Chains A and B, each alone.
Chain A
């Protein structure tokens, strides 16, 4: 599974971090960092993160 975040859209809301903490996190400056090729077992979490991103910046590619 491949995760792509459109960093032009992302406004560091952090909603994705609550939904999928193993994939998304905030660095010390409050900016988003994420794992771009997470384990397939995390798919539900990642889909959830994509759903809850207020800017709809997260794309899950197969």
Chain B
């Protein structure tokens, strides 16, 4: 293949794809198109250090590798349509770009709650502007904050808010424990306790049905009619993949873009997907295609996809997912796929009151480990990393 590779999405996945294409020997043109005005930056600090005012936005910029210095960046440009059969993408200004290879790297955006009520005062956290807007609210004296959704981002935001001195921070979730979906009950309970001890209030088993207020939100209405007074609301209720621009090409876009085991899209050798938007089967596990919103995935997918796009024959993609989350002064560190082993959860080291290392098993085999606690606990999880890497694939 020669000519031009177009990368759509100029965040971590897009940057890593461009770098890895050069590493894989691609010498043709590379154009990266992204609708944000910024060069790629690191998102995780947005709900942590940036929100806390400890890390300036400038400190988040990735430093592109020297080999990618000649990549063309089209920032502030949105791709509105792709015509895969014609190998073109169209920009919002009407310009059409033809390609020889295409990398889908458009990631996700926050899901919004559809229930009625005013929009002002309701926040999500995905971009620097989001983080700044929320920070402005959290630093107003006496502000009462309701976080809807007790997943990773919700819990991080709640922890950061408490750290900023916000007196009333309430997290609402229909599930009975925080982060219980990905981590299970044992860690869910341990996390609940830690957050409560540090001043976060939880209203669990409760769904949000509406927002009160005229111009601005003043309260969050729950299913049983309770109203939680709120000056600011954070919606952290999951994400939606940015795939609308791929519609009309006969692709499976049910949740992100479906790929094969080589990250190829729609059976086309010249189209691959990377990062949060890719729904790929992991040959390490059961082969069921899933989207994985972990920071390690843009890099892992980009490495594989760049080689595939430049014609290498590779074994099926089989990354070891890794994830971390910083909340208050403790860290969660995960290796593998805990979510596949929620039926058989064992404490491997320590106990839930202090630093703890938890193993997740499927058919008796370890499929994931999660450490909760200080830095030493996180490193404890790493001892199992080699074991997780060596194991034979799980057959469903």
Cα A30 to Cα B63 with chains together (Å)? 26
B279: interface (CB < 8 Å): no
Question: Which A-chain residue is minimally distant from B62 (CB atoms)?
Answer: A56
Q: A30-B376, A56-B62 are in contact. Are A14 and B42 (CB under 8 A)?
A: no
Tell me whether B379 and A9 are in contact (CB under 8 A). Answer: no
B395: interface (CB < 8 Å): no
Q: A51-B16, A54-B324 are in contact. Are A14 and B379 (CB under 8 A)?
A: yes
Cα A52 to Cα B374 with chains together (Å)? 20
Question: Which residue from A9, A26, A59, A62 sits with its C-beta under 8 Å from B59?
Answer: A9
Smallest beta-carbon distance A17→chain B, Å:
7
Tell me whether A13 and B382 are in contact (CB under 8 A). Answer: no
Cα A11 to Cα B60 with chains together (Å)? 14
Tell me whether A13 and B378 are in contact (CB under 8 A). Answer: yes
Tell me whether A13 and B324 are in contact (CB under 8 A). Answer: yes
Tell me whether A54 and B295 are in contact (CB under 8 A). Answer: yes
Binding site secondary structure of chain A: loop
B170: interface (CB < 8 Å): no
Smallest beta-carbon distance A20→chain B, Å:
14
Most buried by B among A9, A15, A26, A59: A15
Q: A52-B299, A54-B295, A56-B63 are in contact. Are A26 and B379 (CB under 8 A)?
A: yes
B375: interface (CB < 8 Å): yes
A12: interface (CB < 8 Å): yes
Smallest beta-carbon distance B351→chain A, Å:
20
B44: interface (CB < 8 Å): yes
Question: Which B-chain residue is minimally distant from A44 (CB atoms)?
Answer: B23
Chain B 360-396 against A: per-residue CB contact (8 Å), 1 yes, 0 no?
Answer: 0000000000000011101100100100000000000
B322: interface (CB < 8 Å): yes
Chain B 317-355 against A: per-residue CB contact (8 Å), 1 yes, 0 no?
Answer: 000001010100000000000000000000000000000
Chain B 50-91 against A: per-residue CB contact (8 Å), 1 yes, 0 no?
Answer: 000000000110110110000000000000000000000000
Question: Which B-chain residue is minimally distant from A61 (CB atoms)?
Answer: B66
Cα A14 to Cα B383 with chains together (Å)? 12
Chain A 11-25 against B: per-residue CB contact (8 Å), 1 yes, 0 no?
Answer: 111110110000000
On chain B, the residues within 8 Å of A14 by CB distance are 375, 378-379, 382
Smallest beta-carbon distance B307→chain A, Å:
14
Cα A59 to Cα B65 with chains together (Å)? 10
B127: interface (CB < 8 Å): no
| Residues from 13 to 67 in B contacting A, C-beta threshold 8 Å | 16, 42, 44-45, 59-60, 62-63, 65-66
Question: Which residue from B59, B66, B326, B375 sits with its C-beta under 8 Å from A30?
Answer: B375
On chain A, the residues within 8 Å of B63 by CB distance are 56, 59
Smallest beta-carbon distance B377→chain A, Å:
10
On chain B, the residues within 8 Å of A12 by CB distance are 375
Smallest beta-carbon distance A60→chain B, Å:
8
Cα A2 to Cα B322 with chains together (Å)? 27
A interface residues, Cβ below 8 angstroms from B: 9, 11-15, 17-18, 26, 30, 47, 51-52, 54-56, 59, 62
B interface residues, Cβ below 8 angstroms from A: 16, 42, 44-45, 59-60, 62-63, 65-66, 295-296, 299, 322, 324, 326, 374-376, 378-379, 382, 385
Additional 19 contacts, C-beta under 8 A, given A14-B382, A15-B322, A55-B45: A9-B59, A11-B326, A12-B375, A13-B324, A13-B378, A14-B375, A17-B382, A18-B382, A26-B379, A30-B374, A30-B376, A51-B16, A52-B296, A52-B299, A54-B44, A54-B295, A55-B42, A56-B42, A56-B63
